[in-house]
Chains A and B, each alone.
Chain A
Amino acid sequence: MKKIDAGAVGIGLRCPHHQTILDNLPELGFLEVHSENYFTPHSQNRFYLEQIANHYPLSFHGIGLSIGSCESVSQTHLHQLKKIIDIFQPALVSDHLSWSSLEGNFFNDLLPVPYTQEALSFFVNNINQIQEYLERQILIENPSSYLEYKQSEMSEPEFINEIVKQTGCGLLLDLNNVYVSANNHQFSTEKYLDIIDHESVQEIHLAGFTEKQVNNASILIDTHSTFVSQAVWDMYQTYMQTHSTDVPTLIEWDLDIPALDVLIAEHNKAINIKNLNVKQQR
């Protein structure tokens, strides 16, 4: 396993960049892949990952475990995930605080859960089952959401803290998701971050959102299709100053994927913010 260095900044590895990365081997702290895209053993994606893994530490980020489902995690999915973990030995493995499948149907989206004791018990059971099967800790990412349930009994950060406490999993803190949800549900990002148990944060995600107009009102959608917004960069800077953390940071870009240079420029921006923070501390 290649370890991710303290304070490293990485980018999401996407198919259009496979060959360019191998040709140029740019200086990147780590690469994060969507695990499911590498399940198929003889695929072109796997062929590239086998070579790229020789040069970079990896993080496996999934969207398919459906941890918040009121059902057990798919054993087939878990088995496939374990297989690639055994082969590539990623430094980090993560999935989301959401659900995506029910009774055999898969919705390919990160669907919201109500923050109730009952939902908590499903999360805890599923995460325990996953960590036991994979024989390692996983990280759970806070979601972006567009609606809230009437029946929620606690706030999202309280729910996350409880999951971490009961399972020993880590938190993948997506600052863009906090910003998107805060705008959509009119809560304060500062208050949200005040509640989070920062000891549990083991990775930070930064990505871009899209503003959509409906009935002359706007809603933010977590599209990962553009640059990280200035508001989220500001949050990142404040977060790094406040918490002086050296957890890895990832730049995500999944749709309308730009040239690798554009992603590397975003990566360098994150490094500059981290370095600025280090200088200010001296």
Chain B
Amino acid sequence: MKIRQLQQQFSDTLLYKSEQITTQIKAKKDFTGNELLQVYRNNFVMGITEALSSTYQHTLALVGEEFFNAVARQFILSNPPQENNLMSYGNGFSEHLDGLEQLTNLPYVAEMARFEWLLEQTTNKKLQHSALDLHQLQSIPSDQLEKIAFQAATQVVLFSSRQNIAHLHQMMLRNEVQETDLNQPCFLALKKQPSFTVELISLSETEFLLMEQIMQKKNLGEIAPQSLLPSLPKLLEKDLLCGFK
């Protein structure tokens, strides 16, 4: 058998699609070919589950290890990593959770996963140390202001949810989870700190919408509706903007 076909069959067995490869395995006294292949199947799923558990620690805590491992297994087999680097694996896990019938009444689980993914992405963002020059900003003639496009700090990522994930996250961090109504929206700016922690900055809905459009590189004249613009000082105060053009 050519090596391409052999590796194709091996891939298929790792993904539980076929057991054809077993005919190529040397017989052993104590183990069938399938039992030996199971060692590799287990290594594949367990190694990647470990990477997911590390990214989605709070999601795991919400659903318990047994459920998490079962769901991770489904996710891994249907979305095997596409890069030889697990540090970048796990995007889309929240959508997978969102599609599970068992979690229909627990929408905060998928939302926590989406939050944790963004949290991890934020820690890998470039830290920008430059601050916005307020004097330069004040010197711009008022008729030129609408042409200005603010720049969001590179270490900032936005997160919004219909569930109050910020509150749930805080409760879990403090190990003080209490019955609470999570059906309240939350709008957050996640900001990486030099210590590699992430500061969660609570925003109002208008501040969030304005920040979102600034991150789309819109200039002030393009911001819609214009009623969002009075929130600008708040974004400057929270140090979410680092410059303008």
Contact = CB atoms under 8 A, between A and B. Distances in A.
Q: In which size bucket is the chain B interface? A: 35 or more
Nearest to B82: A104
B85 A150 contact: no
Given A108-B47, A146-B40, A147-B25, A100 B125 contact: no
Contact of A149 (B6, B14, B48): B6
Contacts of B6: 114, 149, 151
Q: In the complex, which of the residues A106, A122, A150 has the most CB atoms of chain B within 10 Å of its own CB atom?
A: A106
Contact of B31 (A100, A217, A221): A217
B1 to A, nearest CB: 6
Given A111-B10, A111-B40, A147-B26, A74 B84 contact: yes
A216 B33 CA distance: 16
A147 B11 contact: no
Interface stretch (A41-49, A168-176, A194-202, A271-279): A41-49
Contact of B81 (A69, A106, A119, A122): A106
Interface residues of A, number: 50
B92 to A, nearest CB: 15
Contacts of A102: 7-8, 10-11
Interface in B1-53: 1-4, 6-8, 10-11, 14-15, 24-26, 28-31, 33, 35-37, 39-40, 43-44, 47-48, 51
Q: Across the A-B interface, give the 7 residue pairs with the lowest CB-CB distance, nearest first.
A: A64-B84, A217-B30, A147-B36, A106-B81, A105-B80, A148-B26, A70-B4
Interface of A: 36-37, 39-44, 47, 63-66, 69-70, 74, 76-77, 80, 99-109, 111, 113-114, 116, 118-119, 122, 146-151, 212, 214-217, 219, 221
Given A74-B84, A100-B84, A105-B11, 15 more contacts: A40-B124, A69-B7, A77-B84, A77-B85, A102-B7, A103-B11, A105-B81, A147-B36, A147-B39, A149-B26, A214-B31, A215-B30, A215-B35, A217-B30, A221-B39
